[in-house]
């Protein structure tokens, strides 16, 4: 009796191995595996096993030429009774089949050439695409509007300053080079109309005005002396022209005869221009 049971067990183990090999062979050979084809293969395998059992029953209750008894659908151990061991072994076999099917599905998804991309990875297609351009909102346009308004405010302030006098001295109260330039232009010379001094460190828009002057004149430092909107240089330039006695002529030429320049302490009152 034990030999018959062993033979049956060995027979079903061999059958299970063949089914497993056929299952994985079918999975590897499939070029476009999908859940539907795997389910069909699983169903066909189970149906083939059922037909095998049914064929044995039609031959009069013998499963082979030796006359051994046909095992029932759930009589796994072949003892003729469906007991707890049969149910456990049947459950284990079903679990192995389901696990193999799930592994095959996972492998098929991983190797599938037509796996769709997520909407976030599709550039420029659909409302959920990460590359889709979105219309500019009011919040995005607001900083640009504020920036334009500030630029306009700086331009108006600068234009207002340039109208104060033909000669403008852009300075900073703590800057030694600015003090030197102011000493030459305001103390050593008499310039009419009187130069207008702008202390950028004390002006509410001083930093922005200095940046604007850098764009206009190419000079981003102070002092910056301008004659009718044209820069003639900084502190070193003023000192050099004064030492070379060309400063008065420079201011007068740019002033187009509308600016008078003379030395302050000359007893002969001789004018420099």
pLDDT tens profile 9-23 = 777 787 877 877 777
**How confident is residue 102, by pLDDT bands cut at 50, 70 and 90?**
confident
Domains delineated in the chain? 2-112 (no CATH), 156-263 (3.40.30.10)
Q: Which residue has the higher pLDDT, 241 or 144?
A: 241
Alpha helices by DSSP H, listed for 62-137, are 84-111
pLDDT in tens, 205-241: 999 999 999 999 999 999 999 999 999 999 999 999 9
Parallel, antiparallel or unpaired: strands 196-199 and 167-171: parallel
pLDDT at 267 over 80: no
- Taking only Cα atoms into account, the Rg of the chain, rounded to an integer number of angstroms, comes to 49
Residue 229 to residue 200: CA distance in whole angstroms: 17
Quickly state the pLDDT bin for 30 (edges 50, 70, 90).
low
CB-based contact 238:181 (threshold 8 Å): yes
pLDDT band at 41 (very low <50, low <70, confident <90, very high): low
Least confident of 26-30, 69-73, 115-119, 169-173: 69-73
Residue 116: exposure state from Cβ atoms within 10 A (0-12, 13-18, ≥19): exposed
- pLDDT above 50 (res 72): no
Q: What is the pLDDT of residue 37?
A: 55
Mean pLDDT score, 64-87 = 53
What's the average model confidence in pLDDT over 134-151? 64
Collapsing DSSP to helix, strand or coil, 115 comes out as coil
Candidate from 82-86, 129-133, 161-165, 174-178 with smallest mean pLDDT:
129-133
Among 16, 14, 2, 4, which Cα is nearest to 92's?
16
Q: What is the pLDDT of residue 9?
A: 74
Q: How far apart are alpha carbons 267 and 264 in whole angstroms?
A: 9
Q: What's the pLDDT at 105?
A: 79
Cβ atoms of residues 15 and 7 within 8 Å: no
Q: How far apart are the first and last CA of the chain?
A: 137
> What's the rounded Cα separation, in Å, for the pair 49 and 63?
13
Distance CA 245, CA 238 (A): 10
Helix, strand, coil percentages, rounded to 5, for the chain: 55, 10, 35
Q: Averaging pLDDT over each range in 39-43, 48-52, 204-208, which range is the top one?
A: 204-208
Q: What is the pLDDT of residue 36?
A: 53
Chain mean pLDDT for the chain: 75
Residues 136, 130: Cα–Cα separation, whole Å: 15
Helix H or strand E encompassing 233:
strand 230-233
Q: How high is the pLDDT of residue 161? A: 95
Distances in Å between the Cα of 79 and the Cα atoms of 9, 51, 53, 67 are 11, 21, 16, 15
Q: What percent of the chain is modeled with pLDDT above 70?
A: 59
- Using 50, 70 and 90 to split pLDDT, how confident is the model at 134? low
Mean pLDDT of 56-64: 44
């Amino acid at each position: 009796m034990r030999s018959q049971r062993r033979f049956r067990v060995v027979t079903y183990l061999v059958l299970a191995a063949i089914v497993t090999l056929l299952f994985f062979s079918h999975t590897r050979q499939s070029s476009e595996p999908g859940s539907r084809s795997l389910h069909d293969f699983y169903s066909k395998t189970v149906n083939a096993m059922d037909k095998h059992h049914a064929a044995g029953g039609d031959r009069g209750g013998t499963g082979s030429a030796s006359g051994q008894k046909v095992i029932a659908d759930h009589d796994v151990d072949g003892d003729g009774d469906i007991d707890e061991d049969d149910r456990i072994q049947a459950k284990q076999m079903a679990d192995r089949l389901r696990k193999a099917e799930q592994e095959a599905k996972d492998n098929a998804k991983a190797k599938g050439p037509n796996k769709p991309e997520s909407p976030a990875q599709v550039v420029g297609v659909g409302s959920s695409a990460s590359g889709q351009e979105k219309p500019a909102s009011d919040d995005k346009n607001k900083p640009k509007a504020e920036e334009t308004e500030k630029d306009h405010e700086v331009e108006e302030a600068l234009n207002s300053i340039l109208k104060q006098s033909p000669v403008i001295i852009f300075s900073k109260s703590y800057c030694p080079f600015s003090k030197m330039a102011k000493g030459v232009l305001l103390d050593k010379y008499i310039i009419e109309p009187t130069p207008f001094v702008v202390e950028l460190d004390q002006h509410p828009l001083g930093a922005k005005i200095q940046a604007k002057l850098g764009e206009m004149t190419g000079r981003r430092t102070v002092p910056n002396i301008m004659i009718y909107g044209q820069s003639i240089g900084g502190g070193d330039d003023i000192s050099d022209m004064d030492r070379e006695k060309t400063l008065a002529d420079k201011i007068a030429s740019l002033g187009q005869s509308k600016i008078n320049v003379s030395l302050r302490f000359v007893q002969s009152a001789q004018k420099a221009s």
